[in-house]
């Protein structure tokens, strides 16, 4: 389910810079900012995944172990 987010008191120069970056990519400001938020969310999720694997570093980590860790991380986000 999508929700609306409103940000107040953004300085004009920040808004203008974001609008310029969005236009350079052929995107609306809304699409650009949504993608930026989604990238930030994924980066944080990946960071948590990597941290959970740090103690398990070995050559014996199977693909199934990695899949289990990824799935548990996704379940934590829900």
pLDDT in tens, 64-75: 888 887 888 776
Distance CA 25, CA 77 (A): 30
pLDDT in tens, 35-60: 999 998 888 877 777 777 776 666 67
Continuous H helices in 1-78: 12-24, 29-54, 63-77
pLDDT band, very low/low/confident/very high, at 31 (cuts 50, 70, 90): very high
pLDDT above 70: residue 76: no
pLDDT for residue 67 = 84
The residue with tokens 């995107």 is 27
Greater model confidence, 40 or 15: 15
């Amino acid at each position: 389910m999508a929700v609306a987010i409103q940000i107040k008191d953004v300085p004009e120069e920040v808004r203008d810079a974001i609008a310029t970056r969005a236009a350079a990519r052929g995107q609306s400001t809304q699409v650009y900012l949504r993608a930026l938020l989604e990238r930030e969310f994924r980066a944080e999720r990946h960071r948590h995944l990597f941290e959970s694997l740090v103690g398990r570093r070995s050559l014996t980590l199977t693909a199934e172990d990695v899949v289990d860790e990824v799935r548990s991380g996704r379940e934590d986000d829900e």
